[in-house]
Structure 1
Amino acid sequence: MEEKGRLVCVVPVYNESDLIVNTIESLKKIDLIDEIVVVNDGSQDNTLEVINSLDVSVINLEKNCGKGYAMRKAIETLKYDYIAFIDGDLGESSIQTEKLILPVINGEVDVSIAKFSDRSTMTNTKGGFGIVKRFAKSGIYFFTKKEIDTSLSGQRVYKKQVIEKMNYIPDRYGIEVAMTIQTINNGFSIMEVPVTMNHRYSQRNLQGFIHRGKQFIDILKTFIVMYFRG
Protein backbone atom coordinates (compact mmCIF):
# COMPACT_ATOMS: atom_id res chain seq x y z
CA MET A 1 0.00 0.00 0.00
CA GLU A 2 1.26 3.49 -0.86
CA GLU A 3 1.60 6.26 1.69
CA LYS A 4 -2.00 6.70 2.74
CA GLY A 5 -2.08 10.46 3.25
CA ARG A 6 -3.63 12.31 6.15
CA LEU A 7 -6.79 10.82 7.69
CA VAL A 8 -8.88 12.95 10.02
CA CYS A 9 -11.75 11.53 12.07
CA VAL A 10 -14.55 14.01 12.77
CA VAL A 11 -17.00 13.39 15.60
CA PRO A 12 -19.98 15.81 15.65
CA VAL A 13 -21.64 15.80 19.07
CA TYR A 14 -24.66 17.28 20.81
CA ASN A 15 -25.21 16.40 24.48
CA GLU A 16 -23.07 13.24 24.37
CA SER A 17 -21.20 13.59 27.68
CA ASP A 18 -22.19 10.09 28.80
CA LEU A 19 -20.70 8.19 25.84
CA ILE A 20 -18.15 10.45 24.20
CA VAL A 21 -15.23 9.43 26.42
CA ASN A 22 -15.45 5.74 25.47
CA THR A 23 -16.02 6.67 21.83
CA ILE A 24 -12.88 8.81 21.68
CA GLU A 25 -10.67 6.48 23.72
CA SER A 26 -11.45 3.63 21.31
CA LEU A 27 -10.80 5.82 18.27
CA LYS A 28 -7.39 6.68 19.73
CA LYS A 29 -6.45 3.02 19.48
CA ILE A 30 -6.71 3.15 15.67
CA ASP A 31 -3.22 3.95 14.36
CA LEU A 32 -4.54 4.86 10.91
CA ILE A 33 -6.21 7.99 12.29
CA ASP A 34 -3.89 11.01 12.24
CA GLU A 35 -6.18 13.44 14.05
CA ILE A 36 -9.47 13.22 15.96
CA VAL A 37 -11.62 16.34 15.82
CA VAL A 38 -14.74 16.69 17.96
CA VAL A 39 -17.26 19.31 16.82
CA ASN A 40 -19.40 20.40 19.74
CA ASP A 41 -22.70 21.48 18.21
CA GLY A 42 -23.85 23.81 20.99
CA SER A 43 -24.31 21.09 23.62
CA GLN A 44 -26.35 22.14 26.64
CA ASP A 45 -24.84 19.60 29.04
CA ASN A 46 -21.17 19.31 30.04
CA THR A 47 -20.04 17.76 26.74
CA LEU A 48 -17.67 20.64 25.97
CA GLU A 49 -15.96 20.28 29.36
CA VAL A 50 -15.57 16.55 28.82
CA ILE A 51 -14.11 16.72 25.30
CA ASN A 52 -11.70 19.48 26.33
CA SER A 53 -10.16 16.95 28.73
CA LEU A 54 -9.66 14.23 26.09
CA ASP A 55 -6.53 15.55 24.31
CA VAL A 56 -8.25 15.85 20.93
CA SER A 57 -8.87 18.80 18.62
CA VAL A 58 -12.12 20.63 19.35
CA ILE A 59 -14.29 22.88 17.19
CA ASN A 60 -16.85 24.56 19.42
CA LEU A 61 -20.09 25.99 18.06
CA GLU A 62 -21.75 28.37 20.50
CA LYS A 63 -25.28 27.35 19.49
CA ASN A 64 -26.85 24.20 18.10
CA CYS A 65 -26.72 24.49 14.30
CA GLY A 66 -27.35 20.88 13.26
CA LYS A 67 -25.24 17.83 12.48
CA GLY A 68 -24.79 18.77 8.83
CA TYR A 69 -23.61 22.27 9.75
CA ALA A 70 -21.10 20.80 12.22
CA MET A 71 -19.76 18.43 9.56
CA ARG A 72 -19.53 21.21 6.98
CA LYS A 73 -17.63 23.38 9.46
CA ALA A 74 -15.08 20.59 9.88
CA ILE A 75 -14.78 20.10 6.12
CA GLU A 76 -14.13 23.82 5.61
CA THR A 77 -11.62 24.02 8.47
CA LEU A 78 -9.50 20.86 8.31
CA LYS A 79 -6.69 19.63 6.07
CA TYR A 80 -7.05 16.00 5.07
CA ASP A 81 -6.69 13.43 2.30
CA TYR A 82 -9.34 11.18 3.85
CA ILE A 83 -12.07 12.14 6.27
CA ALA A 84 -14.10 9.88 8.56
CA PHE A 85 -17.36 10.91 10.20
CA ILE A 86 -18.26 9.01 13.35
CA ASP A 87 -21.18 9.57 15.74
CA GLY A 88 -20.31 10.33 19.35
CA ASP A 89 -22.58 7.70 20.86
CA LEU A 90 -20.80 4.56 19.63
CA GLY A 91 -18.86 4.06 22.86
CA GLU A 92 -16.19 1.37 22.76
CA SER A 93 -17.60 -0.02 19.50
CA SER A 94 -16.07 2.95 17.66
CA ILE A 95 -12.94 0.77 17.41
CA GLN A 96 -14.66 -0.85 14.42
CA THR A 97 -14.13 2.37 12.47
CA GLU A 98 -10.93 0.72 11.28
CA LYS A 99 -13.09 -1.61 9.16
CA LEU A 100 -14.37 1.44 7.31
CA ILE A 101 -10.97 3.06 6.89
CA LEU A 102 -9.09 0.16 5.33
CA PRO A 103 -11.01 -0.30 2.04
CA VAL A 104 -10.82 3.44 1.33
CA ILE A 105 -7.12 4.00 2.01
CA ASN A 106 -6.31 0.73 0.21
CA GLY A 107 -7.95 2.12 -2.93
CA GLU A 108 -10.73 -0.48 -3.10
CA VAL A 109 -13.50 2.11 -2.93
CA ASP A 110 -14.08 5.86 -2.73
CA VAL A 111 -16.48 5.83 0.21
CA SER A 112 -17.28 3.31 2.92
CA ILE A 113 -20.42 3.32 5.09
CA ALA A 114 -21.10 1.22 8.18
CA LYS A 115 -23.85 -1.34 7.73
CA PHE A 116 -25.22 -2.23 11.14
CA SER A 117 -26.14 -5.83 11.84
CA ASP A 118 -29.53 -6.98 13.08
CA ARG A 119 -28.05 -7.15 16.56
CA SER A 120 -27.19 -3.47 16.49
CA THR A 121 -29.40 -0.91 18.20
CA MET A 122 -29.12 1.22 15.06
CA THR A 123 -31.47 -1.12 13.23
CA ASN A 124 -34.07 -1.14 16.01
CA THR A 125 -37.26 0.30 14.56
CA LYS A 126 -38.56 1.74 17.83
CA GLY A 127 -39.57 5.37 17.59
CA GLY A 128 -40.37 5.13 13.88
CA PHE A 129 -36.84 4.57 12.65
CA GLY A 130 -38.06 1.96 10.17
CA ILE A 131 -40.35 4.46 8.45
CA VAL A 132 -37.65 7.10 8.20
CA LYS A 133 -35.11 4.56 6.97
CA ARG A 134 -37.43 3.28 4.23
CA PHE A 135 -38.25 6.84 3.18
CA ALA A 136 -34.56 7.73 2.95
CA LYS A 137 -33.74 4.57 0.99
CA SER A 138 -36.60 5.20 -1.45
CA GLY A 139 -35.52 8.78 -1.98
CA ILE A 140 -31.93 7.81 -2.71
CA TYR A 141 -33.18 5.26 -5.25
CA PHE A 142 -35.35 7.94 -6.88
CA PHE A 143 -32.33 10.19 -7.42
CA THR A 144 -29.70 7.56 -8.23
CA LYS A 145 -31.45 4.32 -9.26
CA LYS A 146 -29.19 2.60 -6.70
CA GLU A 147 -30.35 0.71 -3.62
CA ILE A 148 -28.37 1.70 -0.52
CA ASP A 149 -29.24 0.02 2.77
CA THR A 150 -27.08 2.39 4.81
CA SER A 151 -28.89 5.57 3.81
CA LEU A 152 -28.96 6.97 7.36
CA SER A 153 -25.74 5.55 8.77
CA GLY A 154 -23.52 8.33 10.11
CA GLN A 155 -20.36 6.23 10.17
CA ARG A 156 -18.54 6.98 6.91
CA VAL A 157 -15.09 7.43 5.38
CA TYR A 158 -14.54 9.59 2.28
CA LYS A 159 -11.68 10.34 -0.04
CA LYS A 160 -11.09 14.08 -0.28
CA GLN A 161 -11.98 14.07 -3.99
CA VAL A 162 -15.50 12.90 -3.15
CA ILE A 163 -16.09 15.74 -0.71
CA GLU A 164 -14.66 18.32 -3.10
CA LYS A 165 -17.28 17.44 -5.73
CA MET A 166 -20.21 18.04 -3.36
CA ASN A 167 -22.04 21.35 -3.61
CA TYR A 168 -24.85 20.78 -1.10
CA ILE A 169 -24.39 19.82 2.55
CA PRO A 170 -27.62 20.56 4.46
CA ASP A 171 -27.50 21.74 8.06
CA ARG A 172 -29.42 18.98 9.79
CA TYR A 173 -30.65 15.41 9.44
CA GLY A 174 -30.69 15.37 5.65
CA ILE A 175 -26.90 15.30 5.59
CA GLU A 176 -26.41 11.55 5.04
CA VAL A 177 -28.90 11.23 2.18
CA ALA A 178 -27.55 14.36 0.47
CA MET A 179 -23.97 13.14 0.63
CA THR A 180 -24.95 9.65 -0.54
CA ILE A 181 -26.87 10.92 -3.56
CA GLN A 182 -24.04 13.23 -4.62
CA THR A 183 -21.43 10.51 -4.15
CA ILE A 184 -23.28 8.16 -6.49
CA ASN A 185 -24.29 10.76 -9.07
CA ASN A 186 -20.74 12.10 -9.24
CA GLY A 187 -19.56 8.65 -10.26
CA PHE A 188 -17.84 7.55 -7.05
CA SER A 189 -18.07 4.06 -5.56
CA ILE A 190 -19.57 3.11 -2.19
CA MET A 191 -18.90 0.02 -0.08
CA GLU A 192 -21.34 -0.89 2.70
CA VAL A 193 -19.22 -2.49 5.42
CA PRO A 194 -20.86 -4.84 7.97
CA VAL A 195 -20.26 -3.80 11.59
CA THR A 196 -21.66 -4.66 15.02
CA MET A 197 -21.36 -1.19 16.48
CA ASN A 198 -23.60 -0.07 19.32
CA HIS A 199 -25.70 3.04 18.80
CA ARG A 200 -28.23 5.05 20.74
CA TYR A 201 -31.76 4.98 19.31
CA SER A 202 -34.95 6.90 20.00
CA GLN A 203 -37.38 5.29 22.39
CA ARG A 204 -41.02 4.68 21.55
CA ASN A 205 -42.19 7.70 23.50
CA LEU A 206 -43.16 11.30 22.78
CA GLN A 207 -39.57 12.53 22.66
CA GLY A 208 -38.62 9.70 20.31
CA PHE A 209 -41.50 10.40 17.94
CA ILE A 210 -40.68 14.11 17.90
CA HIS A 211 -37.07 13.30 17.03
CA ARG A 212 -38.05 10.97 14.19
CA GLY A 213 -40.59 13.50 12.96
CA LYS A 214 -37.89 16.17 12.72
CA GLN A 215 -35.62 13.71 10.95
CA PHE A 216 -38.35 12.84 8.42
CA ILE A 217 -39.09 16.52 7.73
CA ASP A 218 -35.40 17.38 7.29
CA ILE A 219 -34.91 14.51 4.85
CA LEU A 220 -38.02 15.56 2.92
CA LYS A 221 -36.70 19.13 2.70
CA THR A 222 -33.36 17.79 1.46
CA PHE A 223 -35.04 15.76 -1.28
CA ILE A 224 -37.07 18.80 -2.37
CA VAL A 225 -33.98 21.01 -2.53
CA MET A 226 -32.04 18.39 -4.49
CA TYR A 227 -34.91 17.88 -6.92
CA PHE A 228 -35.06 21.58 -7.81
CA ARG A 229 -31.29 21.92 -7.89
CA GLY A 230 -31.26 19.20 -10.53
Structure 2
Amino acid sequence: MNKPNLSIILPAKNEADGLKSFLPRLRKQYPDAEIIVVNDGSTDNTAEVCLSNGVFVVTHPYSMGNGAAIKSGARHASGEILVFMDADGQHQPEDIPRLLTHIHNGYDMAVGARDGDSQASKARGFGNALYNRLASYMTGHTVKDLTSGFRAARAEKFREFLHLLPNGFSYPTTCTMAFFRSGYSVVYEPITAPKRIGKSHLNITKDGFRFLLIIFKIGTLHSPLKLFLPISLSFFALGMAYYLNTLISVGRFTNMSALLLSTSVLIFLIGLVSEQITSLIYNQGNTATPLPLGGKIAEDACDERAPHTAQPVA
Protein backbone atom coordinates (compact mmCIF):
# COMPACT_ATOMS: atom_id res chain seq x y z
CA MET A 1 0.00 0.00 0.00
CA ASN A 2 1.41 3.38 -0.98
CA LYS A 3 1.89 5.86 1.82
CA PRO A 4 -0.18 9.05 1.67
CA ASN A 5 1.50 12.28 0.65
CA LEU A 6 -0.57 14.23 3.17
CA SER A 7 -1.12 13.65 6.88
CA ILE A 8 -3.62 15.79 8.78
CA ILE A 9 -3.10 15.89 12.54
CA LEU A 10 -5.71 17.06 15.03
CA PRO A 11 -5.00 17.24 18.78
CA ALA A 12 -8.25 16.72 20.66
CA LYS A 13 -9.32 16.86 24.28
CA ASN A 14 -13.05 16.41 24.89
CA GLU A 15 -13.90 17.57 21.37
CA ALA A 16 -16.53 14.92 20.53
CA ASP A 17 -19.24 17.47 19.70
CA GLY A 18 -17.09 19.39 17.27
CA LEU A 19 -15.57 16.31 15.64
CA LYS A 20 -18.99 14.83 14.80
CA SER A 21 -19.50 17.50 12.16
CA PHE A 22 -15.88 18.37 11.43
CA LEU A 23 -14.46 14.94 10.53
CA PRO A 24 -17.00 14.18 7.76
CA ARG A 25 -16.20 17.57 6.16
CA LEU A 26 -12.48 16.89 6.42
CA ARG A 27 -12.77 13.38 4.98
CA LYS A 28 -14.91 14.66 2.11
CA GLN A 29 -12.32 17.34 1.31
CA TYR A 30 -9.38 14.89 1.46
CA PRO A 31 -10.60 11.30 1.05
CA ASP A 32 -7.10 9.91 0.45
CA ALA A 33 -5.28 11.79 3.22
CA GLU A 34 -4.07 10.18 6.42
CA ILE A 35 -6.12 11.75 9.23
CA ILE A 36 -4.72 11.33 12.74
CA VAL A 37 -6.62 12.47 15.81
CA VAL A 38 -4.56 12.51 19.01
CA ASN A 39 -6.98 11.87 21.86
CA ASP A 40 -5.26 13.72 24.71
CA GLY A 41 -6.83 12.05 27.73
CA SER A 42 -10.43 12.89 26.79
CA THR A 43 -13.16 11.93 29.23
CA ASP A 44 -15.96 12.08 26.65
CA ASN A 45 -16.49 9.87 23.57
CA THR A 46 -13.91 11.62 21.40
CA ALA A 47 -12.20 8.33 20.50
CA GLU A 48 -15.47 6.64 19.52
CA VAL A 49 -16.47 9.54 17.29
CA CYS A 50 -13.09 9.40 15.53
CA LEU A 51 -13.17 5.66 14.99
CA SER A 52 -16.72 5.82 13.63
CA ASN A 53 -15.45 8.27 11.01
CA GLY A 54 -12.63 6.00 9.88
CA VAL A 55 -9.64 8.00 11.12
CA PHE A 56 -6.51 6.86 12.94
CA VAL A 57 -6.58 7.56 16.68
CA VAL A 58 -3.58 7.94 18.97
CA THR A 59 -4.69 7.91 22.60
CA HIS A 60 -2.81 9.43 25.53
CA PRO A 61 -3.69 7.70 28.82
CA TYR A 62 -3.98 11.13 30.46
CA SER A 63 -3.88 14.74 29.29
CA MET A 64 -0.31 15.68 28.35
CA GLY A 65 -0.97 18.99 26.64
CA ASN A 66 -1.55 20.31 23.15
CA GLY A 67 2.14 20.27 22.24
CA ALA A 68 2.54 16.68 23.39
CA ALA A 69 -0.41 15.71 21.18
CA ILE A 70 1.19 17.46 18.21
CA LYS A 71 4.44 15.56 18.78
CA SER A 72 2.64 12.21 19.04
CA GLY A 73 0.76 12.93 15.82
CA ALA A 74 3.92 13.95 13.97
CA ARG A 75 5.71 10.78 15.06
CA HIS A 76 2.88 8.56 13.78
CA ALA A 77 2.32 10.43 10.52
CA SER A 78 3.56 8.82 7.32
CA GLY A 79 2.87 11.69 4.92
CA GLU A 80 5.57 13.92 3.44
CA ILE A 81 3.48 17.00 4.26
CA LEU A 82 1.91 17.55 7.67
CA VAL A 83 -1.16 19.71 8.25
CA PHE A 84 -2.01 20.67 11.82
CA MET A 85 -5.52 21.79 12.73
CA ASP A 86 -7.59 22.33 15.86
CA ALA A 87 -10.41 19.88 16.45
CA ASP A 88 -12.81 22.53 17.73
CA GLY A 89 -14.16 23.62 14.34
CA GLN A 90 -12.23 26.92 14.16
CA HIS A 91 -10.12 25.79 11.21
CA GLN A 92 -11.85 25.12 7.93
CA PRO A 93 -10.96 22.10 5.74
CA GLU A 94 -11.68 24.31 2.71
CA ASP A 95 -8.65 26.45 3.65
CA ILE A 96 -6.17 23.57 3.50
CA PRO A 97 -5.56 23.82 -0.28
CA ARG A 98 -4.43 27.42 0.15
CA LEU A 99 -1.73 26.33 2.59
CA LEU A 100 -0.70 23.38 0.44
CA THR A 101 -0.31 25.64 -2.59
CA HIS A 102 2.47 27.49 -0.78
CA ILE A 103 4.17 24.22 0.17
CA HIS A 104 4.04 23.02 -3.43
CA ASN A 105 5.49 26.37 -4.50
CA GLY A 106 8.59 25.76 -2.41
CA TYR A 107 7.83 27.07 1.08
CA ASP A 108 8.77 24.91 4.04
CA MET A 109 5.85 25.99 6.22
CA ALA A 110 2.58 27.82 5.56
CA VAL A 111 0.61 29.28 8.46
CA GLY A 112 -3.03 30.33 8.53
CA ALA A 113 -3.00 33.91 9.85
CA ARG A 114 -6.28 34.82 11.54
CA ASP A 115 -7.86 38.19 10.85
CA GLY A 116 -9.08 40.58 13.55
CA ASP A 117 -12.60 39.16 13.48
CA SER A 118 -11.27 35.69 14.30
CA GLN A 119 -9.89 36.59 17.73
CA ALA A 120 -11.81 35.15 20.67
CA SER A 121 -11.73 38.47 22.53
CA LYS A 122 -10.19 41.93 22.35
CA ALA A 123 -7.79 41.04 25.16
CA ARG A 124 -6.57 37.95 23.34
CA GLY A 125 -6.30 39.91 20.09
CA PHE A 126 -4.17 42.54 21.83
CA GLY A 127 -1.98 39.84 23.37
CA ASN A 128 -1.47 38.10 20.04
CA ALA A 129 -0.55 41.42 18.40
CA LEU A 130 2.07 41.99 21.11
CA TYR A 131 3.50 38.50 20.65
CA ASN A 132 3.66 39.02 16.89
CA ARG A 133 5.64 42.24 17.26
CA LEU A 134 8.08 40.74 19.74
CA ALA A 135 8.61 37.67 17.57
CA SER A 136 9.07 39.84 14.46
CA TYR A 137 11.81 41.76 16.28
CA MET A 138 13.52 38.57 17.47
CA THR A 139 13.47 36.85 14.09
CA GLY A 140 13.88 39.83 11.77
CA HIS A 141 10.86 38.60 9.77
CA THR A 142 7.25 39.71 9.80
CA VAL A 143 5.29 37.31 12.00
CA LYS A 144 1.59 37.75 11.26
CA ASP A 145 0.17 35.12 13.62
CA LEU A 146 2.62 33.59 16.06
CA THR A 147 0.10 31.42 17.91
CA SER A 148 -1.93 30.01 15.02
CA GLY A 149 -2.31 26.24 15.28
CA PHE A 150 -3.40 25.91 11.64
CA ARG A 151 -0.31 25.23 9.56
CA ALA A 152 1.20 22.97 6.92
CA ALA A 153 4.85 21.96 6.94
CA ARG A 154 7.28 19.59 5.30
CA ALA A 155 7.47 16.56 7.59
CA GLU A 156 11.24 16.10 7.64
CA LYS A 157 11.80 19.75 8.56
CA PHE A 158 9.10 19.85 11.21
CA ARG A 159 10.48 16.77 12.94
CA GLU A 160 13.87 18.44 13.34
CA PHE A 161 12.36 20.55 16.14
CA LEU A 162 10.27 17.99 18.01
CA HIS A 163 12.71 18.05 20.92
CA LEU A 164 12.25 21.83 21.20
CA LEU A 165 8.45 21.82 21.24
CA PRO A 166 6.86 22.26 24.69
CA ASN A 167 4.07 19.97 25.81
CA GLY A 168 1.71 22.89 26.47
CA PHE A 169 -0.23 25.26 24.25
CA SER A 170 2.69 27.21 22.80
CA TYR A 171 4.04 24.76 20.24
CA PRO A 172 3.23 27.18 17.34
CA THR A 173 5.45 29.84 18.95
CA THR A 174 8.44 27.53 19.23
CA CYS A 175 7.89 25.98 15.82
CA THR A 176 7.66 29.33 14.02
CA MET A 177 10.76 30.83 15.58
CA ALA A 178 12.78 27.63 15.11
CA PHE A 179 11.91 27.57 11.40
CA PHE A 180 13.04 31.18 11.00
CA ARG A 181 16.27 30.56 12.93
CA SER A 182 17.14 27.58 10.74
CA GLY A 183 16.65 29.57 7.56
CA TYR A 184 13.54 27.70 6.46
CA SER A 185 10.96 29.61 4.46
CA VAL A 186 7.66 30.54 6.15
CA VAL A 187 4.63 32.17 4.56
CA TYR A 188 1.35 33.41 6.03
CA GLU A 189 -2.05 32.87 4.41
CA PRO A 190 -4.94 35.04 5.68
CA ILE A 191 -7.87 33.01 7.03
CA THR A 192 -11.08 33.64 8.92
CA ALA A 193 -11.68 31.34 11.87
CA PRO A 194 -15.28 30.95 13.11
CA LYS A 195 -16.16 30.62 16.77
CA ARG A 196 -15.00 27.36 18.29
CA ILE A 197 -17.38 24.53 19.19
CA GLY A 198 -17.20 23.72 22.88
CA LYS A 199 -15.20 25.26 25.72
CA SER A 200 -11.70 26.64 25.28
CA HIS A 201 -8.88 24.93 27.21
CA LEU A 202 -6.73 28.09 27.08
CA ASN A 203 -6.39 30.32 30.13
CA ILE A 204 -5.61 33.82 28.85
CA THR A 205 -3.78 34.91 32.04
CA LYS A 206 -1.78 31.78 32.81
CA ASP A 207 -1.04 30.69 29.24
CA GLY A 208 -0.53 34.29 28.08
CA PHE A 209 2.33 34.63 30.58
CA ARG A 210 3.73 31.30 29.37
CA PHE A 211 3.62 32.51 25.77
CA LEU A 212 5.61 35.58 26.75
CA LEU A 213 8.21 33.49 28.58
CA ILE A 214 8.56 31.16 25.61
CA ILE A 215 9.11 34.10 23.25
CA PHE A 216 12.08 35.19 25.33
CA LYS A 217 13.32 31.62 25.77
CA ILE A 218 13.22 31.00 22.04
CA GLY A 219 14.55 34.52 21.46
CA THR A 220 17.69 33.61 23.36
CA LEU A 221 17.97 30.49 21.23
CA HIS A 222 17.18 32.35 18.01
CA SER A 223 19.16 35.59 18.31
CA PRO A 224 20.44 36.24 21.85
CA LEU A 225 22.14 39.54 21.04
CA LYS A 226 18.81 41.03 20.01
CA LEU A 227 17.63 40.37 23.54
CA PHE A 228 20.79 41.15 25.51
CA LEU A 229 22.12 44.13 23.52
CA PRO A 230 19.21 46.53 24.25
CA ILE A 231 19.41 45.63 27.95
CA SER A 232 23.16 46.20 27.91
CA LEU A 233 22.78 49.56 26.18
CA SER A 234 20.12 50.58 28.69
CA PHE A 235 22.45 49.92 31.61
CA PHE A 236 25.28 51.69 29.79
CA ALA A 237 23.14 54.77 29.12
CA LEU A 238 21.92 54.79 32.72
CA GLY A 239 25.50 54.49 34.01
CA MET A 240 26.75 57.32 31.81
CA ALA A 241 23.82 59.54 32.82
CA TYR A 242 24.46 58.84 36.49
CA TYR A 243 28.17 59.51 36.03
CA LEU A 244 27.55 62.87 34.34
CA ASN A 245 25.12 63.82 37.08
CA THR A 246 27.56 63.00 39.90
CA LEU A 247 30.46 64.57 38.00
CA ILE A 248 28.58 67.86 37.83
CA SER A 249 27.17 67.72 41.36
CA VAL A 250 30.02 66.22 43.41
CA GLY A 251 32.87 66.17 40.91
CA ARG A 252 33.71 62.46 41.05
CA PHE A 253 33.09 59.01 39.62
CA THR A 254 30.88 57.03 42.03
CA ASN A 255 30.58 53.33 42.82
CA MET A 256 27.04 53.25 41.42
CA SER A 257 28.28 54.50 38.06
CA ALA A 258 30.94 51.79 38.05
CA LEU A 259 28.33 49.14 38.93
CA LEU A 260 25.95 50.18 36.14
CA LEU A 261 28.71 50.35 33.50
CA SER A 262 30.18 47.02 34.61
CA THR A 263 26.74 45.41 34.46
CA SER A 264 26.25 46.65 30.90
CA VAL A 265 29.56 45.04 29.86
CA LEU A 266 28.71 41.74 31.55
CA ILE A 267 25.27 41.56 29.91
CA PHE A 268 26.80 42.25 26.52
CA LEU A 269 29.40 39.49 26.99
CA ILE A 270 26.71 37.02 28.09
CA GLY A 271 24.76 37.84 24.93
CA LEU A 272 27.87 37.41 22.79
CA VAL A 273 28.65 34.00 24.28
CA SER A 274 24.99 32.96 23.90
CA GLU A 275 25.09 33.99 20.24
CA GLN A 276 28.11 31.75 19.62
CA ILE A 277 26.52 28.81 21.45
CA THR A 278 23.34 29.24 19.40
CA SER A 279 25.32 29.20 16.17
CA LEU A 280 27.10 26.00 17.19
CA ILE A 281 23.82 24.30 18.11
CA TYR A 282 22.20 25.07 14.78
CA ASN A 283 25.32 24.23 12.79
CA GLN A 284 25.35 20.80 14.41
CA GLY A 285 21.67 20.41 13.58
CA ASN A 286 22.28 21.28 9.93
CA THR A 287 24.99 18.64 9.60
CA ALA A 288 22.93 15.91 11.23
CA THR A 289 21.56 13.06 9.16
CA PRO A 290 18.17 14.18 7.85
CA LEU A 291 15.09 12.25 8.83
CA PRO A 292 13.46 10.22 6.09
CA LEU A 293 10.51 11.66 4.20
CA GLY A 294 7.37 10.13 5.63
CA GLY A 295 7.38 6.95 7.65
CA LYS A 296 7.34 6.61 11.41
CA ILE A 297 10.21 7.85 13.51
CA ALA A 298 12.27 5.10 15.08
CA GLU A 299 11.80 4.59 18.77
CA ASP A 300 15.40 5.48 19.62
CA ALA A 301 15.17 8.72 17.64
CA CYS A 302 12.43 10.12 19.89
CA ASP A 303 13.94 11.02 23.25
CA GLU A 304 10.67 12.56 24.47
CA ARG A 305 8.29 9.97 23.08
CA ALA A 306 5.06 10.16 25.09
CA PRO A 307 3.33 6.93 26.15
CA HIS A 308 0.22 6.27 24.11
CA THR A 309 -1.81 3.58 22.47
CA ALA A 310 -2.58 3.64 18.78
CA GLN A 311 -5.93 2.49 17.48
CA PRO A 312 -5.86 2.02 13.70
CA VAL A 313 -9.03 1.49 11.78
CA ALA A 314 -9.32 -1.73 9.87
With the length of structure 2 as denominator, give the TM-score of the two structures: 0.63
Select the residue among 140, 164, 168 that pairs with 1:145: 140
Write out aligned runs for 1:46-195 (5 A).
Answer: 46-90=45-89, 93-104=92-103, 106-119=104-117, 122-126=118-122, 128-166=123-161, 167-195=163-191
Aligned counterparts of 1:47 and 1:164: Cα–Cα separation in 2? 26
Question: What secondary structure is seen at the aligned counterpart in 1 of 2:25?
Answer: helix
* Moved segments of 4+, more than 3 Å: 227-230
Percent of aligned pairs sharing the same letter: 21
C-alpha root-mean-square deviation of aligned residues, in Å? Answer: 2.7
- Provide the residue aligned with 2:194 in structure 1: 198
Question: What secondary structure is seen at the aligned counterpart in 2 of 1:28?
Answer: helix
User: How far 1:51 sits from its partner (Å)?
Assistant: 1.7
Aligned residues: 219
Greater shift, 213-222 or 194-203, is seen at 194-203
Considering fraction of residues, name the structure with more helix.
2
User: How far 1:228 sits from its partner (Å)?
Assistant: 5.0
Query: How has the CA–CA distance of structure 1 residues 123 and 58 changed in structure 2, closer, same or farther, with 3 Å as cutoff?
Result: same
User: How far 1:81 sits from its partner (Å)?
Assistant: 0.8
The answer to whether the Cα contact below 8 Å between 2:88 and 2:198 also exists between their aligned partners in 1 is: no
Structure 2: which amino acid aligns with 1:111?
A: M
The answer to whether the Cα contact below 8 Å between 1:68 and 1:170 also exists between their aligned partners in 2 is: yes
Instruction: Give 5+ residue unaligned stretches, structure 2.
Output: 222-277, 279-314
Aligned counterparts of 1:92 and 1:72: Cα–Cα separation in 2? 19
Question: What secondary structure is seen at the aligned counterpart in 2 of 1:165?
Answer: helix
Structure 1: which amino acid aligns with 2:44?
A: D
Aligned counterparts of 1:91 and 1:194: Cα–Cα separation in 2? 14
The answer to whether the Cα contact below 8 Å between 1:22 and 1:91 also exists between their aligned partners in 2 is: no
